[in-house]
């Protein structure tokens, strides 16, 4: 896999486009500028990797649109050294963005085929800041809790209690909630027992499903 001057140029234009759409967080924009998105897409879509669009990644899943990745990452307020749990590894692009910002990333995927493929890819790319798990993320990842941030990249019908409980006090959970259309929720744990909830913009995600799916 190579990252050419042409790819770098296209990435810079993507960053400009995200700025025009209202993304202002410089740390997030720097990460988008640094991570070669074409590494996370099928060869067939390489030409389009720097368009602000989602693309299929196999197994009926999609790599999120760059705008959505930037929007959610900005809401998480990632600081270097933060422990971040991602539910829905998919292509690994969102995990790579978080790692580029200096986070220690724990990412969970329910589809074994995607888990295996992406774990291998992240290793090849030398992404040592990301640890991958094959699990049902509706239960979170209690063994490594608490987290400074939790990000769910599939549309959830409800906010699983397990995720709130695995936040550190002061931690943030970013999750799209709803059936056909999802509203982005940002939930902050303000004490051991209290949470503050904000409902933000509408998005469309692939569904957040219970249980795991084994490779066939
Ligand atoms: N963050 C990904 C987005 C992938 S799409 C990226 O950057 O490419 C969402 C992913 O969430 C899919 O791969 C889907 O299989 C996974 N998913 C859905 N429900 C899940 C669950 N309960 N636990 C873990 N992963 C889940």
The closest residue, in CA terms, to atom 17 on ligand 1 is 88
- Cα 92 to ligand 1 centre (Å): 10
pLDDT of residue 216: 86
Active site annotation includes 191: no
pLDDT of residue 1: 84
The token duo for 66 is: 């760059």
Residues 6+ apart with CB under 8 A from 208: 87, 88, 137, 138, 152, 154, 155, 156, 157
The token duo for 112 is: 């074994």
Candidate list 64, 91, 132, 191, residue with the active-site label? 64
**Is there a contact between 38 and 46 (Cβ–Cβ < 8 Å)?**
yes
Pocket of ligand 1 contains residue 136 by CB under 6 Å: yes
Structural domain includes residue 87: yes
Find the CATH number of the domain harbouring 196.
3.40.50.150
pLDDT of residue 115: 98
Nearest ligand 1 atom to alpha carbon 97: 7
- Cα 88 to ligand 1 centre (Å): 3
Structural domain includes residue 176: yes
- Cα 5 to ligand 1 centre (Å): 31
Structural domain includes residue 120: yes
Structural domain includes residue 144: yes
Please, what are the averages of pLDDT over each run of 10 residues along the chain (216 residues)?
94 98 98 97 92 93 96 98 98 98 98 97 95 98 98 97 98 97 98 98 96 94
pLDDT of residue 29: 98
Distance CA 137, CA 158 (A): 13
Q: Angle of helix 5-20 relative to helix 26-34, nearest 10 degrees?
A: 150
The closest residue, in CA terms, to atom 4 on ligand 1 is 90
Q: Is 74 helix (H, G, I), strand (E, B) or coil?
A: helix
Q: Residue 169 is part of which domain span? A: 5-203
Task: Give the mutation target among 76, 111, 154, 204 for probing the ligand 1 site: most ligand atoms within 8 A of CB.
Answer: 154
CA dihedral (20, 21, 22, 23) in degrees, to 10, reads -90
Structural domain includes residue 214: no
Structural domain includes residue 215: no
pLDDT of residue 152: 98
Nearest ligand 1 atom to alpha carbon 88: 11
Q: How many CB atoms lie within 10 A of CB 206?
A: 16
Structural domain includes residue 130: yes
Q: How many domains does the chain have?
A: 1
- Cα 150 to ligand 1 centre (Å): 13
Structural domain includes residue 149: yes
The token duo for 36 is: 């070669």
């Amino acid at each position: 896999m190579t990252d050419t001057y042409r790819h770098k140029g296209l990435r810079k234009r993507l960053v400009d486009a995200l700025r025009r759409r209202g993304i202002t967080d410089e740390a997030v924009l720097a990460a988008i500028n640094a991570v070669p998105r074409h590494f996370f897409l099928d060869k067939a879509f390489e030409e389009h990797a720097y368009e602000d669009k989602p693309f299929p990644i196999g197994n009926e899943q999609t790599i999120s649109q760059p705008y959505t990745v930037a929007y959610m990452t900005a809401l998480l307020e990632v600081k270097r050294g933060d422990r971040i749990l991602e539910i829905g590894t998919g292509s690994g692009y969102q995990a790579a963005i978080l790692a580029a910002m200096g986070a220690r990333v724990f990412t969970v995927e329910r589809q074994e085929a995607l888990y295996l493929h992406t774990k291998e890819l992240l290793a090849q790319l030398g992404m040592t800041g990301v640890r991958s798990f094959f699990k049902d993320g509706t239960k979170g990842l209690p063994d490594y809790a608490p987290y400074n941030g939790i990000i769910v990249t599939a549309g959830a019908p409800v906010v699983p209690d397990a995720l709130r409980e695995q936040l550190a006090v002061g931690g943030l959970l970013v999750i799209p909630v709803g059936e056909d259309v999802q509203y982005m929720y940002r939930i902050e744990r303000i004490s051991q027992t209290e949470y503050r909830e904000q409902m933000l913009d509408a998005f469309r995600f692939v569904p957040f499903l219970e249980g795991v799916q084994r490779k066939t």
